[in-house]
A and B are shown apart, each in its own frame.
Chain A
Amino acid sequence: MVIIETKALTYTYPGGTKPSIRDVSLSIEKGKFVILTGPSGCGKTTLCRCFNGLIPHFYGGELKGELRVAGLKVDEHPIYEMAKQVGLVFQNPENQLFALSVEKDVAFGLENLGMPRSEMKERVNWALQMTGIEELRERAPHELSGGQQQRVAIASVLAMQPEIMIFDEPTSFLDPLGAQKIFEVINELKNKLGVTVILVEHRLDLASKYADQVIIMDEGNIVLDGEPREIFNSETAWLLGVGVPKAVRLWNVLQENGLVLKGAPVSSEEATQFLREVLKR
């Protein structure tokens, strides 16, 4: 079942001379893990903001084309309605936490929605549990590490139980171990709850193993859209300067040297496995 669908989506920021996204047509199925990537300035952040209504409602500007998210036409619904279906976790953990305790932050969205207190308490507990941060519930956000803060942000969005969760470069400020933890949490949400995940990332070596679909953008257009294996293997991805995982690069390089290889690994574990088979021959 398709949960996000766009046709010829084009958007220009107010005062912008050219569109940030141009003629974008894609479809994303419910419950899938999609990686959205591309060089800086390609429009991936803009596209994410279209999905939850920040564009056009918060930013203004001109949005053309069709866009349907969770059955809703984005331009016809205010952001607070979209927020119930689509959650957005931002890049900087510090600037998404408002309250003086983790608990209160996780409840923020629910308070805004006017949820009764007893129900709210249950949701907050559930969200803290799902993201593994129950022991942090009374801490102040400033005392937490970047990785912990991001998990709080994820919990606060999760608490609203959206069908779709979008993560805009959530690990930019985290070290690789912290980044790994975040990707694991995100993957858990997809597996356990069936949340549709859209992850905008540059660090493909850590995240690619979770993806069902990879979309690569460049200069506002979608350039590649398909299965991770074929996308990462393609020449185009490499030419665009996308950070294709090293495992794939090794594979390509071996193939250039005449090795006949089947399949392409997307993660280091797969690469080890595949190589083992090749070497045993």
Chain B
Amino acid sequence: MIEVKGIYFTYPTGVEALKGVSLTIGDGEFVAVMGQNGAGKTTLVKHFNGLLKPAKGEVLVDGVSTRDVSVAKLARKVGFVFQNPDHQLFSETVEEEIAFALRNFGFDETTIEKRVTWALNLLDLTEYRKTSPFMLSGGERKRVALASILAWNPNVVILDEPTIGQDHRQKENLRQFIVQLNGQGKTVVVVTHDVEFVAECNPRVVLMTEGKVVADGEAKKILTDTTLTLTASIVPPQITQIFLGLKDLGLPFDVIDVSEARRILLDYLEGAKH
């Protein structure tokens, strides 16, 4: 469980990135931290594994303050997948890359071998076991980065803008993978500005703007609230936009999903027939 208690954070450059943020993420939750670029999303989640320590307030991970424990120790519980895989790839083989964290955490060689095989399998990378990560395509490198984090089986997985530069199919695969991870009991935190991606998953949404949390609740309620989306400068999902335009016909507008949209429209037409 991650508890954030009234934290403030200012970067050395003087930018005040977090201005009093409080929230709690329970085990097994699926949370999307949303907001425009510069709202403070990445700054917030970097507090979850101790990379950043708050200037005021505190962050507790399973009851322990992040100030009292090293990043390496917190990392055992909280895995962080960075936006750009090239910022972490350095090994000669994919195998080595995945084993890196395991070695840092002191696992024995037999366990490492097993975990590496498991992670390769999970992300469909078995054929690349002995390949250099630099030889792989962009999408494959992203999977290697993800595999190298999941290898040590952290309870919490944070993904920072995982959909950037991905094509539709890759995003779909990623979405299904994340849902699967969450289904296995992992706490998943996704930092993203991709509204359509979130609309497909309908997780809990923590909406941020200018260093503060302006909303915390169901994706459906938040992404369809025009006052909120305007304040946070985010664009509502396309389906919502369509229904907002049909408000005057008496149709509900808290719709974010295609199948629900279809159901509503068909029902309306059925109703209109009589």
Is the pair B262, A242 in contact by a Cβ cutoff of 8 Å?
Answer: no
Is the pair A176, B234 in contact by a Cβ cutoff of 8 Å?
Answer: yes
Is the pair B167, A205 in contact by a Cβ cutoff of 8 Å?
Answer: no
Is the CB of A254 closer than 8 A to any CB of chain B? yes
* Known A40-B138, A250-B262; contact A172-B167, beta-carbon cutoff 8 A: no
Q: Which A residues, 240 to 281, have Cβ-Cβ distances below 8 Å to chain B?
A: 241-247, 249-250, 253-254, 257, 259, 268-269, 271-273, 275-276, 278-279
Is the CB of B57 closer than 8 A to any CB of chain A? no
A202 to B170, CA, bound (A): 11
A241 to B176, CA, bound (A): 15
Q: Which A residues, 120 to 158, have Cβ-Cβ distances below 8 Å to chain B?
A: 145-147
- Closest beta carbon of chain B to A216's beta carbon, Å: 12
Is the pair B258, A250 in contact by a Cβ cutoff of 8 Å?
Answer: yes
Is the CB of B195 closer than 8 A to any CB of chain A? yes
A245 to B234, CA, bound (A): 18
Residue of B nearest to A256 (CB): B262
- Closest beta carbon of chain A to B249's beta carbon, Å: 6
Is the pair A40, B237 in contact by a Cβ cutoff of 8 Å?
Answer: no
Is the pair B165, A175 in contact by a Cβ cutoff of 8 Å?
Answer: no
Q: How many residues from B make CB contacts under 8 Å with A? A: 39
Residues in A with CB closer than 8 Å to B258 are 246, 249-250, 253
- Closest beta carbon of chain A to B209's beta carbon, Å: 12
Is the CB of B269 closer than 8 A to any CB of chain A? yes
B 32-44 to A, binary, CB cutoff 8 A, 1 in contact else 0: 0000111000000
B 247-260 to A, binary, CB cutoff 8 A, 1 in contact else 0: 00100000000110
Is the CB of A19 closer than 8 A to any CB of chain B? no
Residues in A with CB closer than 8 Å to B261 are 250
Q: Which B residues, 231 to 274, have Cβ-Cβ distances below 8 Å to chain A?
A: 233-235, 237-239, 241-242, 245-246, 249, 258-259, 261-262, 265-266, 268-269, 272
Is the CB of A178 closer than 8 A to any CB of chain B? yes
Is the CB of A59 closer than 8 A to any CB of chain B? no
Work out how many contacts link A and B, with CB atoms closer than 8 A.
Answer: 104
Residues in B with CB closer than 8 Å to A91 are 165
Q: Which B residues, 182 to 200, have Cβ-Cβ distances below 8 Å to chain A?
A: 193-196
Is the pair A145, B38 in contact by a Cβ cutoff of 8 Å?
Answer: yes
Is the CB of B168 closer than 8 A to any CB of chain A? yes
A176 to B229, CA, bound (A): 12
Is the pair B262, A253 in contact by a Cβ cutoff of 8 Å?
Answer: yes
Is the CB of A174 closer than 8 A to any CB of chain B? yes
Is the pair B245, A272 in contact by a Cβ cutoff of 8 Å?
Answer: yes
Residue of A nearest to B237 (CB): A246
Residue of B nearest to A179 (CB): B235
Is the CB of B217 closer than 8 A to any CB of chain A? no
For this complex, into which size category does the number of interface residues on chain A fall? 35 or more
Residues in B with CB closer than 8 Å to A145 are 37-38
Residues in A with CB closer than 8 Å to B259 are 253
Is the CB of B137 closer than 8 A to any CB of chain A? yes
Q: Which B residues, 128 to 156, have Cβ-Cβ distances below 8 Å to chain A?
A: 137-139
Is the CB of B10 closer than 8 A to any CB of chain A? no
Q: Which A residues, 170 to 203, have Cβ-Cβ distances below 8 Å to chain B?
A: 172-178, 180, 202
A264 to B189, CA, bound (A): 37
Is the CB of A219 closer than 8 A to any CB of chain B? no
A174 to B235, CA, bound (A): 13
- B interface, over-half SS: helix
Q: Which B residues, 212 to 240, have Cβ-Cβ distances below 8 Å to chain A?
A: 233-235, 237-239
* Known A145-B38, A175-B234, A177-B235; contact A40-B195, beta-carbon cutoff 8 A: no
- The one of A39, A40, A247 in contact with B242, judged by C-beta atoms closer than 8 angstroms, is A247
Residues in B with CB closer than 8 Å to A41 are 137
Residues in A with CB closer than 8 Å to B171 are 243
Is the CB of B172 closer than 8 A to any CB of chain A? yes
Residue of B nearest to A38 (CB): B167
Is the pair A40, B193 in contact by a Cβ cutoff of 8 Å?
Answer: no
Is the pair A275, B168 in contact by a Cβ cutoff of 8 Å?
Answer: no
* Known A249-B258, A250-B258; contact A272-B242, beta-carbon cutoff 8 A: yes
A238 to B156, CA, bound (A): 34
Is the CB of B180 closer than 8 A to any CB of chain A? no
Is the CB of A66 closer than 8 A to any CB of chain B? no
Is the pair A169, B165 in contact by a Cβ cutoff of 8 Å?
Answer: yes
Residues in A with CB closer than 8 Å to B246 are 272, 275-276, 279
B 110-138 to A, binary, CB cutoff 8 A, 1 in contact else 0: 00000000000000000000000000011
Known: A169-B165, A271-B238. 4 other contacts (CB 8 A): A244-B168, A246-B237, A275-B265, A279-B268
User: A-B pairs with the 9 shortest C-beta distances?
Assistant: A272-B245, A241-B169, A243-B168, A175-B193, A246-B238, A268-B241, A176-B235, A40-B167, A271-B242
Q: List 12 A-B residue pairs with CB atoms under 8 Å apart, sorted by A's residue number.
A: A40-B166, A41-B137, A174-B37, A180-B235, A202-B166, A202-B167, A205-B196, A206-B235, A250-B262, A254-B265, A272-B241, A276-B249
Give A residues with C-beta under 8 Å from B. 38-41, 91, 145-147, 169, 172-178, 180, 202, 205-206, 241-247, 249-250, 253-254, 257, 259, 268-269, 271-273, 275-276, 278-279
